[in-house]
Copies of this chain bind each other. A is one copy, B any other.
């Protein structure tokens, strides 16, 4: 189960770009019958390699044009704190990513908001739920790249 062959990788490469592709066109691209493709996809769904098929939306039209990264330093290392922090960030839909970083004292949050005022609302809402000693925010001026595609083709 550890190894994924080249045909599977090419199927995944296609599906990552467009989940709505028909089995027929997929088969043509990878050089397999529709049926063989379907069996491989099913197997990869069952193994969990294929996690889900989702729809991506335009953040600007949703009035979420500002991406912000929040860097959080804490001196509270108790599991209670992490638990509360996890729960709080999970429940805030503007927060898209929460990462515990190396060093064990830094957390990074990736969030999308409308503007600075909206960020302040998010910040206030967060510190009302979890005690945070040190929070600094960096705002994204330009999104040069943003993708959900993972590198699946075998690298040299």
Contacts and interface: CB of A to CB of B under 8 A. Distances in A.
Interface of A: 4, 12, 15-20, 47-59, 61-62, 64, 67, 69, 85-86, 89-90, 93-104, 106-108, 112, 138-153
B61 A19 contact: no
* Number of this chain's copies in the complex: 2
Contact of A144 (B18, B19, B49, B99): B99
A98 B62 CA distance: 21
Contacts of A149: 54, 93, 96
A96 B146 contact: yes
Nearest to A106: B138
Given A49-B62, A64-B150, A150-B112, A86 B144 contact: yes
A153 B57 CA distance: 13
A62 B99 contact: no
A67 B145 contact: no
A93 B153 CA distance: 9
Given A96-B145, A99-B144, A101-B141, 10 more contacts: A12-B55, A47-B61, A53-B54, A54-B56, A62-B152, A96-B149, A99-B140, A99-B141, A101-B139, A102-B139
A57 B44 CA distance: 9
26 contacts: A18-B52, A19-B54, A19-B55, A48-B58, A49-B61, A50-B57, A50-B58, A51-B57, A52-B55, A53-B54, A54-B56, A57-B150, A85-B144, A86-B144, A93-B149, A93-B150, A96-B146, A96-B149, A98-B144, A99-B143, A100-B144, A101-B138, A101-B139, A102-B141, A104-B141, A107-B144
